[in-house]
Amino acid sequence: MLLYHDPAAPNPRRVRIFAAEKGIPLETIEVSIAAGANLKPEFRVKNPLRLLPVLELDDGRVLRETMAICRYFEELNPEPNLFGTDAWERAQVEMWNRHAEFELLFPIAQTFRNTHAFWQGRIKQAPEFGAIMKEVAIDRFGWLDYELSSRPYLAGDRFTVADITALCAIDFGKISDIRIQADTQPNLKRWYDAVRARPSAKA
Ligand SMILES: N[C@@H](CCC(=O)N[C@@H](CS)C(=O)NCC(=O)O)C(=O)O
């Protein structure tokens, strides 16, 4: 299987980490967002939305959307389980993954898109909106520290896809100077150090 990705982008990283946790080997092909390679006709046939990641199967079928790709991998290699094993755990993982996407990744990505020089001249930016999103992201770090005071991982006692989403979002925040405050957010820091230390985090 071939993954179209950009090493610097958070959503492709979610897929690479997920595959590494599952022991699924992936060939990768870099599509540089900085160089505008995702806007070129060769890539637009893979994804007319011009977004990464894209997974291409050996028979040429193409799958888009981070979570669709991760769910496909979960079906292919059920162990180690990363989406939950019973009704309650699956619901918890779903809830926490959505929290990580909408409460962390979304405001962090919107801060970057609307305030960073990288996007100047590439997209229409709304700096005021970006600044508000940064405030939201900073607020959510405090919320997550509170949540993680009662359990080791986002969805409970073990590592799941929700932790992958949160890790990639939080690491991506650094480019916009959104950072864990180790002195006031010890639970978040403890969780971050644990997930960052997993070999898959380097994928
Ligand atoms: N919902 C999509 C979002 C994909 C997405 O936003 N990808 C970003 C990289 S993290 C991208 O390709 N951006 C290129 C651009 O905006 O031009 C998914 O989860 O796969």
Question: Which protein residue's CA is at the shortest distance from atom 14 of ligand 1?
Answer: 51
- What pLDDT score was predicted for residue 28? 98
Tokens matching residue 47: 């994804």
Query: Which has the closest alpha carbon to 101: 65, 151, 55?
Result: 65
Q: Which atom of ligand 1 is nearest to the CA of 53?
A: 20
How does pLDDT run across 54-75, given as a tens digit for each residue?
999 999 999 999 999 999 999 9
* Ligand 1 binding pocket mutation candidate from 3, 17, 51, 175 (most atoms within 8 A of CB): 51
Burial (0-12, 13-18, 19+ Cβ within 10 Å), 76 = exposed
Average pLDDT, the chain: 98
- What pLDDT score was predicted for residue 25? 96
| 80 CA distance to ligand 1 middle (Å) | 26
> Which residues have C-beta atoms less than 6 Å from ligand 1?
9-11, 33, 38, 50-53, 65-66
- What pLDDT score was predicted for residue 125? 98
- What pLDDT score was predicted for residue 1? 96
* Ligand 1 binding pocket mutation candidate from 4, 5, 33, 52 (most atoms within 8 A of CB): 52
**CA distances to 23, 41, 94 from 120, in Å:** 39, 22, 35
Give the chain's residues under pLDDT 70: none
